[in-house]
Amino acid sequence: MMLTLFTAAAAPAAAGASAQAAPAGGGLMGMLPIFIIFGVMIFFMMRSQKKQQQKREQMLSKIAKGSKVVLASGFLGTIAEVREKTFLVEIANNVRVEVVQAGIGDVIPEEAPEKK
């Protein structure tokens, strides 16, 4: 019985000595692939966000009097006047509202006349 307790107590100490002799190899080098994957994900997210922002700026720059738009609130209207930072949008006959640029959701493309 005494021998069993002695060998059980000595076995972890012997295993610890051999484990300390070999370098762990972990630390930052083990986490390097995670950092690389995280960096690539952030790069692609920023790239797609920048593309969306450029597309929106291009859409807003093309708005002119008479353009049909969808407001962020869901109203459909026609641009009555383009101002420096806002648009005057006619949403019904003789009903005009002033909308900031962020309030424009989308521009409805003009349909080409149908050929018969």
- What pLDDT, in 10s, does the model give residues 50-96? 999 999 899 888 888 999 999 999 999 999 999 988 999 999 999 99
pLDDT band at 110 (very low <50, low <70, confident <90, very high): confident
The answer to the question of residue 13 being in a domain is no
Q: Is the pLDDT of residue 43 over 70?
A: yes
What pLDDT score was predicted for residue 90? 94
For 50, the domain range is 31-61
CA-derived radius of gyration, the chain: 33
The pTM (predicted TM-score) of the whole model is 0.57
Token reading at 28: 């930052």
Dist CA 3 CA 8 (whole Å):
9
- Residue written as token pair 């002033």: 98
Q: Quickly count: other Cβ atoms within 10 Å of residue 104's Cβ.
A: 21
63, 104 contact by CB (below 8 A) = yes
Q: Please state the domain count of the chain.
A: 2
Q: What is the C-alpha to C-alpha distance for residues 46 and 10, in angstroms, rounded to an integer?
A: 56
- Examine the domain organization and report whether 102 and 75 are in the same domain: yes
Q: Are residues 52 and 71 in the same domain?
A: no
Query: Residues 96, 71: one domain?
Result: yes
